[in-house]
Amino acid sequence: MEEERMEPPPPPPYIHIETNDFLHRRHKRQKEEDIAVCECQYNLLDPDSACGDRCLNVLTSTECTPGYCLCGVYCKNQRFQKSQYAATRLVKTEGRGWGLLADENIMVTEFTLILWSANVVKYIQAGQFVMEYCGEVISWKEAKRRSQAYENQGLLILSSLNVSMVLVIEACSQPNCETRKWNVLGEVRVGIFAKQDIPIGTELSYDYNFEWFGGAMVRCLCGAGSCSGFLGAKSRGFQEATYLWEDDDDRFSVENVPLYDSADDEPTSIPKDILIKDEPNTQDGNNNTIQNTGIPIIASSSEFTPMNVEPSIASSNEFTPMNVEPLNVSSNELTPMTIEPLNAIPMGVDFTQNGSIEYGAQCAEDALQNSTRGVANLQNQSAPRDNNHTELVAVKRRPTLRGGKAKRGMRKQLNVAGICDRLASEVAREEILYCEEMKNQAAAEIDSLYDEIRPAIEEHERDSQDSVATSLAEKWIEASCCKYKADFDLYASIIKNLASTPLRSKEDAAPKEQNGLMYLENGP
């Protein structure tokens, strides 16, 4: 990175700017009650006393407000306001256009913060302020519009003559600088700070955290060992465009990010009195385990075949055979079943024409629909073969689109009432309906919470600087977890009961028609 001092060729004409230009709103005025006043008092013998590293404002990345800081003109915590930049100079780089060199030794100072109350000593590194990152401040909407326009043009055009020197700093995967946000007179401002000592003559760099929206892919020439090859290569857009994606590849979907060890969870939130109704458990220890070998499972119509679902650990690409243990029970008996928590994303079970079973990771609704269909199809097969029974049909996977977004639109509405209608056991129906009620409540709660936080989100999007309050974020996370848990409980309950509860006989349950579709038919 070290380059010899030489006179650079003249750069193209530009106007050097040192303030932000707000395009979508007025500049914020700091209210008096929002002014943070530190406790520093200037001591001639200790220059660091005037808002140095121990200043409460410095420690919270807030600049002191002139007229309110007791250190007056000695206050050292007004670097953005006074444009106290490090000395730099332009340099023409090899293949990367113009860059910026340190024109003085830029230092990282280390200091100690003592948290007296907890008696904890913590070291914090404070890098020297290099310069402010300033330019046009635009709304998210405008940012999206511009990125779309750049994408359409296939290139990035900096059409403005107004240039902050920061715009010349190069991208690097092992940069010597970083960006930090500071609160300056009520506005958030972004600065470039040294991450390490930078000797004079060294080129400055920081990680752009560049979001790639499409268009040209720019090869990164930073030369760092850990370089990812292209500008924006770490961004989602770039990765989606360059990785090989397959159906059901849910790498980025939120559902698949393991957040906690579910072994610590309570098994279910369904009240015990609903789960343990005193219907007899007729499981008789039948050990006729059928391994799934692709042979269709055929049972007589009077037999009810509960499924024993073993806990399975599967990635979306792995095939996990499932043990199906047939049990002979009379249609009036209920065999409750325990489903162990799955250490995997929800499994979709597709029954195909040749009787083999396909497993695939899908979203919970998809899994449920397929399981429901699978069980219905399985039961179709249970009647004698010579009576024009509906054949098992090949289940075509719906295409999974990138990012999981489009999948949402394709989800089918779950017909809980229809499923319940087919079950002979009152307890099973009650349990499923209870779970549905819980799911609806959780959905209503998250909807009303969204309405509550919408103003904060909109404000956040407008200003792109005020964080959503932690308490709101916590509420949101809690409500989301409740919603996921309620969803899971409902699906688990349906799968369990479909697998373990006798169906109502044809006489009991006339086929239900909805929107021209027959649900959960047991055959003619």
* SS3 call for 513: strand
Considering the complex, state which of residue 99 and residue 127 has its C-beta at the smaller distance from ligand SAM: 99
Q: Is 98 in the site for ligand SAM (CB under 6 A)?
A: yes
Minimal CB distance residue for ligand SAM: 97
Is residue 16 helix, strand or coil?
strand
Rule CB under 6 A: is residue 460 a binding residue for ligand SAM?
no
Q: In angstroms, what is the minimal distance from the CB of 99 to ligand SAM?
A: 6
Q: What is the chain's length? A: 524
Query: What's the min distance (Å) between Cβ of 5 and ligand SAM?
Result: 19
The only residue of 221, 274, 322, 401 in contact with ligand SAM, by rule CB under 6 A: 221
Min. distance of Cβ 223 from ligand SAM in angstroms?
A: 8
Is the Cβ of residue 221 or residue 449 nearer to ligand SAM in the bound state?
Answer: 221
Q: How far apart are CA 68 and CA 449, in angstroms?
A: 39
Residue of 107, 58, 61, 73 whose CA lies nearest to 87:
107
**CB 237: neighbour CB atoms within 10 A?**
16
Task: List the one residue from 86, 168, 204, 495 that touches ligand SAM (CB under 6 A).
Answer: 168
Assess 96 for contact with ligand SAM (CB under 6 A): yes
* Beta carbon nearer to ligand SAM, 171 or 337: 171
From CA 92, how far away is CA 94, in angstroms rounded? 7
The amino acid present at 357, given as its one-letter code, is I
Interface segment toward ligand SAM; rule CB under 6 A; list 93-101, 348-356, 472-480, 500-508: 93-101
What is the DSSP pairing of strand 21-22 with strand 136-137?
Answer: parallel
Residues 85, 102 contacting (CB under 8 angstroms): no
Kindly list the distances between the CA atom of residue 380 and the CA atoms of 260, 298, 391, 519, in Å, as whole numbers in the listed order: 40, 9, 8, 13
**Residue 389 is a binding residue for ligand SAM (CB under 6 A):** no
Q: Which of 17, 86, 126, 222 binds ligand SAM (CB under 6 A)?
A: 222
Q: Does 170 bind ligand SAM (CB under 6 A)?
A: yes
- CA 27 to CA 180: how far, in whole Å? 20
Return the number of the residue (187 or 203) whose C-beta is nearest ligand SAM.
203
> Binder to ligand SAM among 97, 267, 271, 524 (CB under 6 A)?
97
Between CA 472 and CA 475 the distance in angstroms is 5
Residue among 156, 188, 443, 446 that touches ligand SAM (CB under 6 A): 156
Cα separation, 119 vs 132, in Å, equals 35
Q: Which is nearer to ligand SAM, 3 or 310 (CB)?
A: 3
192 binds ligand SAM (CB under 6 A): no
User: Which residues lie below 8 Å from residue 480, measured CB to CB, with a gap of 6+?
Assistant: 446
Least gap, CB of 155 to ligand SAM (angstroms):
9
In the complex with ligand SAM, the residue whose CB is nearer, 156 or 322, is: 156
Does position 495 interact with ligand SAM (CB under 6 A)? The reply is: no
State in angstroms the smallest separation of the CB of 164 from ligand SAM: 10
Closest CA to 361 of 404, 392, 394, 325: 404
DSSP codes, 349-361? EEE-TTS-EEEEE
How many whole angstroms separate alpha carbon 173 and alpha carbon 184? 29
Q: Which of 373, 447, 364, 453 is nearest to 404 (CA)?
A: 364
Q: Is 366 one of the binding residues for ligand SAM (CB under 6 A)?
A: no
Taking CB under 6 A as the rule, does residue 1 contact ligand SAM? no
Contacts with ligand SAM, residue ranges (CB under 6 A): 96-99, 156, 167-168, 170-172, 218, 220-222
